[in-house]
């Protein structure tokens, strides 16, 4: 089961953290420091685009191609962690 | 207390990532396992003002604090709670409310939601009204259930927290069944820790190892049944574990607590340790208190560790355990936590667990947390 149009689950809060110089994901009882690519993907999980659109957006932004497998693998992990849900 | 829920956590890198604000010690309940100081009543007149709490929030954010717990006492006793939540939320904190549910009216829930509150941790002691009410010393059970339902109705992520002791450990099964029916996603069985009121009542509150093991099996059965629908957090009390807890993930490592009077502490119990200098945000900048103050530097890191910790290969896992427990049970906060089987003082812990298991013993009544229950005039200021 995969997600068509991912959105950050409501209990999470994602923000740029100046003191960490990193994006962090905050949730009940915990937090995760995101690496740059995870942050770029999660930022785009806002319920407005499906996965192909999300991939296209990333490929445009970073002037590259072939990101889809990596993005899908990350989204799969994020879904299992319940960071994202179907919009 | 921060938990390692999925193996991914931040290294604090010297930042107080977890901030607990004990905004008041006032509380309508009289729980015999309360971890507030015995002289809690003396703090009411010295509580920080709204503006002072806001300054603490600003300074803590500058230090890199992210997770914020509003706790107490009962934080709902402060009418400015919503204002403080809104302020913290705007600063970028992930805001949690730790409450008994008493005073959590519909109007306040709506206001807290609007203020940006992210999560509520609600305590519930039993599944039967008579038991809850007797334990907390007030007519509370129905009000707590009501609070639980309304927290869910407002869509808050919620942790149901059941403090566990001899009087209620047999209700573990019924509690999970009730929580599952209500759709609660996270339940924490908090085997109580023995400080302050709980320590006074320890002989009566401590469950036997047999009871703990039984509850653990109940939890495992439910975990198998419910799968991902509910996270059930249950940790064996350190008195029975044989190894100390990694208390606060180390003294002054990632956790910062501010008492009602503005005193900055490495944990909520630290004031039980005599001879340490406790200073308030009223007098010192928070950055100095966290980074430089003698209190926070005293047991920070591993350099201060005594034997048997120094030569122990688990020292980076538990940092020698809990300083407060070391003081309370051995008389020296610089000793290895006696909960550790390698501590030369481990017999102190064994005495307590042996007492709990003794079939014939004198049953003492529980002291209820209330002003005047005990004489505290002798306590160090």
Dump pLDDT digits (tens) for B309-363. Answer: 999 999 999 999 999 999 999 999 999 999 999 999 999 999 888 888 887 777 7
Give the per-residue pLDDT at B262: 98
Cis, bond preceding B308 (omega within 30 deg of 0):
yes
CATH number at residue A57: 1.10.10.1150
Q: Which residue of B has its CA nearest to A23?
A: B10
- The per-residue pLDDT for range B239-251, each reduced to its tens digit, is 998 999 999 999 9
Mean pLDDT (whole number) for A38-47: 95
A86 inside domain: no
State the residue for tokens 């119990």.
B269
A48 touches chain B (CB under 8 A): no
The pLDDT mean for chain B works out to 92
A33 inside domain: yes
Give the per-residue pLDDT at B308: 95
A27 touches chain B (CB under 8 A): yes
Domain that holds residue A62: 6-81
Q: How many CB pairs below 8 Å do chains A and B form together?
A: 56
Q: Which residues contact B241 (CB under 8 A, 6 or more apart)?
A: B339
- Report chain B residues whose CB lies below 8 A from the CB of A31: 9-10, 17, 66-67, 94
- The per-residue pLDDT for range A44-86, each reduced to its tens digit, is 999 999 999 999 999 999 999 999 999 999 999 999 988 999 9
Q: Which residue of A has its CA nearest to B159?
A: A28
* DSSP code of residue A46: B
State the residue for tokens 């703090």.
B43
Mean pLDDT (whole number) for B134-163: 95
Rg (CA), chain B: 20
A76 inside domain: yes
Structure tokens belonging to residue B353: 């667990």
- The per-residue pLDDT for range B189-200, each reduced to its tens digit, is 999 989 999 999
Give the per-residue pLDDT at A71: 96
Q: How many domains does chain A have?
A: 1
Give the per-residue pLDDT at B3: 42
The 3-state DSSP class for residue B297 equals helix
CB contact under 8 A, A10 and B9: no
Q: Which residue of B has its CA nearest to A82?
A: B228
B167 has a pLDDT exceeding 50: yes
CB contact under 8 A, A30 and B15: no
* DSSP code of residue B318: H
B1 has a pLDDT exceeding 50: no
Give the per-residue pLDDT at B4: 40
CA distance B141 to B97: 19
> How many angstroms away from the CA of B143 is the closest CA of chain A?
24
- Report chain A residues whose CB lies below 8 A from the CB of B63: 19
Mean pLDDT (whole number) for B61-67: 95
Q: Which residue of A has its CA nearest to B60?
A: A19
Architecture field, domain B18-240: Alpha-Beta Barrel (3.20)
B19 has a pLDDT exceeding 50: yes
Give the per-residue pLDDT at A67: 95
The 3-state DSSP class for residue B12 equals coil
pLDDT above 70 covers a percentage of chain B that reads 96
pLDDT above 90 covers a percentage of chain B that reads 85
- Looking at the DSSP bridge assignments, the partners of residue B71 are B22
Mean pLDDT (whole number) for B286-300: 96
A20 has a pLDDT exceeding 90: no
> How many angstroms away from the CA of B357 is the closest CA of chain A?
34
- Report chain A residues whose CB lies below 8 A from the CB of B3: 29-30
A50 inside domain: yes
A35 inside domain: yes
A1 inside domain: no
Closest CA to B28 of B165, B137, B144: B137
* CB atoms inside a 10 Å sphere around CB B92: 17
A36 inside domain: yes
pTM above 0.95, yes or no: no
Residue ranges of the alpha helices (H) in chain B?
A: 50-62, 81-91, 106-115, 129-136, 141-153, 172-182, 196-200, 202-205, 209-226, 238-241, 286-291, 294-298, 315-318, 323-330, 346-357
A87 inside domain: no
Mean pLDDT (whole number) for B263-273: 94
Give the per-residue pLDDT at B6: 35
CB contact under 8 A, B4 and A30: yes
A15 touches chain B (CB under 8 A): yes
């Amino acid at each position: 089961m995969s997600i068509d149009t991912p959105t950050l689950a409501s209990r999470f809060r994602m923000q740029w953290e100046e003191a960490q110089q990193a994006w962090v994901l905050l949730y009940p009882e915990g937090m995760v420091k995101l690496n740059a690519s995870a942050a770029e993907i999660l930022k785009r999980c806002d319920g407005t685009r499906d996965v192909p659109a999300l991939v296209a957006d990333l490929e445009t932004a970073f002037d590259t191609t072939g990101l889809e497998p990596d993005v899908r693998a990350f989204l799969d992990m994020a879904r299992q962690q319940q960071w994202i849900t179907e919009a | 207390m921060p938990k390692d829920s999925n193996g991914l956590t931040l290294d604090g890198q010297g930042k107080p990532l977890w901030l607990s604000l004990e905004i008041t010690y006032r509380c309508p309940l009289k729980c015999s396992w309360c971890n507030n100081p015995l002289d809690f009543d003396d703090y009411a007149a010295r509580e920080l003002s709204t503006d002072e709490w806001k300054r603490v929030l600003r300074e803590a954010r500058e230090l890199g604090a992210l997770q914020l717990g509003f706790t107490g006492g009962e934080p709902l006793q402060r009418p400015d709670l919503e204002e403080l939540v809104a302020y913290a939320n705007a600063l970028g904190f992930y805001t949690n409310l730790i409450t008994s549910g008493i005073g959590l009216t519909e109007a306040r829930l709506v206001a807290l939601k609007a203020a940006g509150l992210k999560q509520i941790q609600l305590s519930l002691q039993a599944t039967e009204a008579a038991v809850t009410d007797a334990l907390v010393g007030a007519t509370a059970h129905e009000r707590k259930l009501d609070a639980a339902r309304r927290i869910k109705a407002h869509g808050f992520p919620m942790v149901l927290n059941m403090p566990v002791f001899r009087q209620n450990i047999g209700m573990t099964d019924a509690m999970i069944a009730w929580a599952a029916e209500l759709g609660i996603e996270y339940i924490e069985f908090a085997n109580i820790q023995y400080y302050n009121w709980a320590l006074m009542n320890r002989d009566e509150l401590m469950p036997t190892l047999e009871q703990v093991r039984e509850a653990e099996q109940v939890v495992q059965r439910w975990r198998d049944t419910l799968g991902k629908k509910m996270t059930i957090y249950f940790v064996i009390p350190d008195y029975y574990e044989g190894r100390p807890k990694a208390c606060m993930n180390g003294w002054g490592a990632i956790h910062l607590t501010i008492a009602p009077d503005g005193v900055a502490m490495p944990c909520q119990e630290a004031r039980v340790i005599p001879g340490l200098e406790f200073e308030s945000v009223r007098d010192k900048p928070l950055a100095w208190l966290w980074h430089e103050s003698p209190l926070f530097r005293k047991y920070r890191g591993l350099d201060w560790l005594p034997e048997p910790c120094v030569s122990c290969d688990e020292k980076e896992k538990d940092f020698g355990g809990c300083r407060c427990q070391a003081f309370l049970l051995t008389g020296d906060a610089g000793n290895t936590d006696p909960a550790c089987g390698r501590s030369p003082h481990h017999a102190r812990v064994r005495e307590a667990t042996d007492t709990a298991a003794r079939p014939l013993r004198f049953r003492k009544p529980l002291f209820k947390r209330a002003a005047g229950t005990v004489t505290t005039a002798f306590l160090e200021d």
